[in-house]
Amino acid sequence: MAVIKNDLITGYHTLTLNKPATKALQWSLEARRATILFRRVKNIGTSPDVKIVGSYSPDTRDHSEITPYREYLKEQKSKPGWGEVSPNTSDHSGFSSNKVGDIKRLSDFVAIINIDAKKYNEGIDTITLPFVPKELNYNTELAYSTIKSMGRNNPFYHFTGAEDKLEFEIDWYSFDEGRKEVIEKCRKIEALSKANGYINGPRRVQLLWGEDNLLFSNHLFIVLSAPYRLLNFNKGYIDKDNTVKKTSMLPIQGYQRVTLARITSDNLTSSEIELV
């Protein structure tokens, strides 16, 4: 066993070898840590960038090492995202604001519109999705009654009805430092699927899929279900004054599986079903 002691290292670190010597040498976890620390100690004189205990330690209040990186992240966050142009720049490459030459800004987005925001046919509330869902599952459930006739090898089938359901998953992400966005949006969709106490029933909604809304322009839905799962709970963040702000363990991200059922005031014809 070898013992290493250095003034820059608190305490002792041991290097242990497995015996007998005929077996392959396997360093213990503490031996590996001691080896790394020992090599860093040897390199301190020649490399000023190598530190064992420095201002970046989580046990100290001095955050001078990570402050420049935090400022860099803030700067990156303030920059325009994909398809956006900062108002302080003249660079209009790619997709720019509103109209630049022959290139128009893409204004397509996905939203769930509550057309009964106040009460039946009064008020509209728009819930914009942060990302376009990866896929849409449109399920048509058909119902037939079997009518068996004497001597027939195959029975008659009587069409008794159908039901159309649309399923997709919403990826909620909180861009707010307070981290309330995710749970607020999840519960907002959940509220659409339930009655408003004894005041009125579940609200009717429309799905706006892009600016032209060719997919669902003539569709009206109710929310059958909207379960969600929450991820990455956040304890707090450091504001611009370097003070810690609590976020009540709110989630940074959530996935909500929404199921919509199509409703109509009258029985649809084949041409209305085919309409795009």
Q: Is 31 helix (H, G, I), strand (E, B) or coil?
A: helix
pTM beyond 0.85: no
Which of the four pLDDT bands, split at 50, 70 and 90, describes residue 109? confident
Which of the four pLDDT bands, split at 50, 70 and 90, describes residue 24? very low
- Give pairs for 235-238: CB < 8 Å, separation 24+: 237/177, 238/70
Residue 101, by phi and psi: left (phi above 0), alpha (psi -120 to 50) or beta?
left
Query: Going by C-beta distance under 8 Å and a sequence separation of 6 or more, which residues neighbour residue 48?
Result: none
Reference 33, options 25, 23, 43, 41; nearest CA is 41
Domains of the chain by residue range: 2-53, 57-106, 108-274
Q: What is the pLDDT of residue 167?
A: 97
Q: What is the pLDDT of residue 39?
A: 65
Query: Going by C-beta distance under 8 Å and a sequence separation of 6 or more, which residues neighbour residue 81?
Result: none
User: CA–CA separation, 52 vs 9, rounded Å?
Assistant: 8
At 57-103, the pLDDT tens digits run: 444 445 555 566 566 666 655 555 433 444 443 333 333 333 333 44
- Burial (CB < 10 A; 0-12, 13-18, 19+), residue 86, is exposed
Which of the four pLDDT bands, split at 50, 70 and 90, describes residue 185? very high
The overall average pLDDT reported for the chain is: 74
User: CA–CA separation, 166 vs 135, rounded Å?
Assistant: 11
